[in-house]
Amino acid sequence: MVEISPFPDQFVWGASTAAYQIEGAWNEDGRGESIWDRFSHTPGKTHHGDSGDVACDHYHRWPEDVELMKRLGLKAYRFSTAWPRIYPQSRNPLNQAGLEFYDRLVDALLAANIEPYITLYHWDLPQALEDEGGWGARDTAYAFADYAETMVRQLGDRVQHWTTFNEPWCTAFLGYEYGVHAPGWQDDRLALQAAHHTLVAHGLALQAMRAINATIKAGIVLNLWSIETVTDTPADRALVERAWQRDLGWFLDPLFHAEYPLLAWQAREAIAPTMQPGDLKLIAQPLDFLGINNYHRILLGSNGERVLPPESEYTEMGWEVHAPGLRRLLNTLHQRYPATPLIIIENGAAFPDEISADGAVHDPRRVHYLREYIGAVRDAIQDGVDVRGYFAWSLLDNFEWAFGYSKRFGLTYVDYPTQRRIVKDSGWWYAQVIARNGLEE
Ligand code: FCB
């Protein structure tokens, strides 16, 4: 008999996607332009000039994709709603056709017994708002709260789990400091201002959402990683603390403690964001759960340099496969913020998949990755961490931002020229984990 190491009864097994990465139909049914349309249509910004114009054509193929989720036995599906489908011009008028798309999707998911988890912002800001200053402008936060309120008004009777932002770290730093994501600015001061405004927008949105419907469960999704050092000296520990504050604490501390972390604030004094009185209190709204995206750890040498151990395995993104880092991260979060349930909203790996002669997609490295990381989640739960769910990234191969279609993260292979979906071995393997509510030992 196979031995199963079980997960808690109510544990939520899901898969994740994001609007711009799968929907396509970028200019249909009244959808407005987003910063990712503008960015990917600008020569030189993405691999091969790829864009999300068509992507997985999910906007038209969503019934087939819901069927696919059923075949995998998913209990939940996390997707994002595209703001420019709802408010194409940034604010009014509202685009009814956009709302109806998500309405139909939610109804189909519920009919299939799959719980929808909605993220309101997965990087596709309406271009019209960017033209007014984007996340550098405080008004964008108010516009976001209006949009969030609209969505909860429309879907809150059927959708219980909501998150405001996906990875505001990426929005701020990749989009405004390094310029590798839309809107492509390279300005460190603007990046911190953008980060602050996403947090303000999060606080305003949670207030507005809960005022419409007090029964929803609301949170935010952060990209978090464990920070480790090769040796373990007092200097190493100080290094870890500084790195934690700079990247993770910069978001976690305002959200949980209504303050920016001191050392990181001092290091950034000259470029610190402008705030209004009450902002920090506004940001620190109670969270029903914290969503975590985790793919790899960060290992530092004694001078703070990034270390990539040669003996480790790496994914197509160059990310180290090191599942104990996830267990460590979950324990650290539990120690720092013990009262908040945690949900893994994204975890997965890109590998160079191909359709083999037998018509299947054999991806043993992804199976191995998922087994290790899901095992790390199980270990963390046994350590006493309150983890409520796990969502694999991603349901489908999709548009991987600046990398275009060159990185495949899916449980399902997408043959882009025909849009045919082929469940990979890892997808079938994951379906078994779900069916057994546990990992085979
Ligand atoms: C995360 C993003 C997601 C996807 C994965 C690989 O940072 O949230 O959209 O690109 O990485």
> What is the percent of the chain where pLDDT is above 70?
100
- Kindly report the backbone phi and psi dihedral angles of residue 388, in degrees, each rounded to the nearest multiple of 5, phi listed first: -100, -20
Residue 350 CA: nearest ligand 1 atom is 6
The CA 64 to ligand 1 mean position distance, Å, reads 23
> What is the percent of the chain where pLDDT is above 90?
98
Confidence class for position 258, pLDDT limits 50, 70, 90: very high
Query: Which residue has its alpha carbon closest to ligand 1 atom 10?
Result: 400
The CA 423 to ligand 1 mean position distance, Å, reads 20
Which pLDDT value is given to residue 61? Answer: 99
Distance CA 323, CA 343 (A): 16
Report CA 304 to chain centroid distance, whole Å. 27
* pLDDT, tens only, 125-154: 999 999 999 999 999 999 999 999 999 999
Distance CA 15, CA 410 (A): 10
With a 6 Å cutoff on the Cβ, whether 226 touches ligand 1 is no
Asked whether the beta carbons of 89 and 128 are under 8 A apart, the reply is yes
With a 6 Å cutoff on the Cβ, whether 163 touches ligand 1 is no
With a 6 Å cutoff on the Cβ, whether 346 touches ligand 1 is yes
- Which of 401, 408, 411 for mutating ligand 1's site (highest number of atoms within 8 Å of CB)? 401
The whole model's pTM is what? 0.98
The CA 30 to ligand 1 mean position distance, Å, reads 26
User: DSSP states of 242-288 as a string?
Assistant: HHIIIIIIHHHHHHHHSS--HHHHHHTGGGPPP--TTHHHHH----S
Question: Annotated active-site positions, please?
Answer: 167, 346
Distance CA 19, CA 319 (A): 24
- Which of 167, 220, 315 for mutating ligand 1's site (highest number of atoms within 8 Å of CB)? 167
- Which of 56, 393, 397 for mutating ligand 1's site (highest number of atoms within 8 Å of CB)? 393
With a 6 Å cutoff on the Cβ, whether 18 touches ligand 1 is yes
Q: Is the pLDDT of residue 330 over 70?
A: yes
Query: Which residue has its alpha carbon closest to ligand 1 atom 4?
Result: 400
Distance CA 275, CA 190 (A): 13
Which pLDDT value is given to residue 3? Answer: 82
Which pLDDT value is given to residue 75? Answer: 98
The CA 376 to ligand 1 mean position distance, Å, reads 20
Local structure of 208: helix, strand or coil: helix
Rounded to the nearest integer, the mean pLDDT of the chain is 98
With a 6 Å cutoff on the Cβ, whether 171 touches ligand 1 is no
- pLDDT, average across residues 274-286: 98
Which pLDDT value is given to residue 176? Answer: 98
Confidence class for position 6, pLDDT limits 50, 70, 90: confident
* pLDDT, tens only, 346-370: 999 999 999 999 999 999 999 999 9
Residue 223 CA: nearest ligand 1 atom is 7
* pLDDT, tens only, 196-229: 999 999 999 999 999 999 999 999 999 999 999 9
Which pLDDT value is given to residue 441? Answer: 77
With a 6 Å cutoff on the Cβ, whether 223 touches ligand 1 is yes
The CA 176 to ligand 1 mean position distance, Å, reads 17
Q: Cα torsion at 9, 17, 248, 132 (round to 10°)?
A: -140
* pLDDT, tens only, 367-422: 999 999 999 999 999 999 999 999 999 999 999 999 999 999 999 999 999 999 99
The CA 3 to ligand 1 mean position distance, Å, reads 33
Distance CA 13, CA 437 (A): 8
Which pLDDT value is given to residue 320? Answer: 98
Q: Is the pLDDT of residue 432 over 70?
A: yes
Confidence class for position 90, pLDDT limits 50, 70, 90: confident
With a 6 Å cutoff on the Cβ, whether 34 touches ligand 1 is no
Q: Is the pLDDT of residue 4 over 90?
A: no
Confidence class for position 1, pLDDT limits 50, 70, 90: low
The CA 249 to ligand 1 mean position distance, Å, reads 20
Given CA atoms 296, 83, 200, 220 in this order, what sign does their dihedral have?
A: negative
Which pLDDT value is given to residue 377? Answer: 98
Residue 170 CA: nearest ligand 1 atom is 7
Nearest residue to 399 (alpha-carbon basis) of 12, 34, 29, 30: 34
The CA 295 to ligand 1 mean position distance, Å, reads 9
- Which of 400, 405, 408 for mutating ligand 1's site (highest number of atoms within 8 Å of CB)? 400
Query: Which residue has its alpha carbon closest to ligand 1 atom 9?
Result: 18
